[in-house]
Structure 1
Amino acid sequence: MRETRLSFTPAAAPQGGWRLMLAALGILALLPAGAHWLRAYGDVQALQARIAAAQPRRAAPVPLPPAVQREQEQQVKVVAEAVRQLNLPVPRLLKTLQAPPDIHVALLGVDLNGQPAQDGGDTARAAPQGPAGSLKIAAEAETARDMLNYLAFLSQQPLFRSVYLIKHEQAASDQPRPYRFQLEAQWRQ
């Protein structure tokens, strides 16, 4: 028996010259369109350059005269102080100042207009921890122990960064609350 080869695919047609001619004509027909596209692209680039040149330029900021600069800095300080005063947590501070029942202290006055805390130079400006300031407290106590217990009580409160005894005096012993004292508390929010 003899081997037979069967091929079900038609044989490739020989490349004729008419197909190459058709491809060359298609390329020639596309050349004017490509030239038109290059011309339009150049026009768009030129228009974008003109638009960029026509944009208004930002003028360099003119330095202010020193007198005007100082005046503006003063205004900024005044506004910052007003904002600090408006942001005081007064109800929270007053609630924190209330002594527990076992400490016999009477508050005489509270000065909420203390200046911002200055921890030695510019460290308060270098690491701001939110609005903070000082609070001055005037109070009376029956005994020196009550005065010191109240000072310790305020020092343990998380609202205060530090509490200092500024001055104290002992009144005549015939008064019911002979110890008058003043505290300064550095608070934080």
Structure 2
Amino acid sequence: MRPMQIDFAAAGWRRTLYRSHPLALAAGVLGLALLTAGGVFGVQAAQQQAAREENLRAQQRKQAAAVRAPERKPETVIPEAQAVAVNAAILQLNLPWRDLQDAVAAANTPAVALLALDPDPRKQTLKITAETKNSDDMVGYIEQLKQQEFFAGAALLRHEINDQDPNRPLRFQVEVQWRAR
């Protein structure tokens, strides 16, 4: 006959541990150890994340403060000659080239050959050097320039006949004043 186990005592944790299989106990202890280790690592990861977020907020505050109050760099002193050269270049770049070219082209006739256009942005004047065969064409060209809306006036500066050329062209220079827009 097989032995019978008769136990009338109330169930408790000690009796449960005593009657448990040793592998179940080992698995329980291992699970408890893993759970504890996971908790410890989780807390450490949360602390590291909080530290990173605090560093990020501090950097953002520094950047916001830098944007609000930019560093004052010492002003560089520009030499007078350099300032004059830069201003002259800006005036030259801001010339109304398209308007000048359109007005000169509208006044041009086939009898007049343009040789040079020399603008002076400070005075808002344009010196035109041209050639023609006779003085009537020269006077007609100057009158055409005066009639252009863009120009305020035109004046003959000088003229001469080129004796070295067999056609003996009349070379002249006209100064026109353009209107500011």
**TM-score, structure 2 as length reference:** 0.48
Structure whose alpha-carbon radius of gyration is higher: 2
Query: TM-score of the superposition, structure 1-length normalised?
Result: 0.47
The structure whose residues are more often helix, as a share, is 2
RCO higher in structure (CA 8 A, sep ≥6): 1
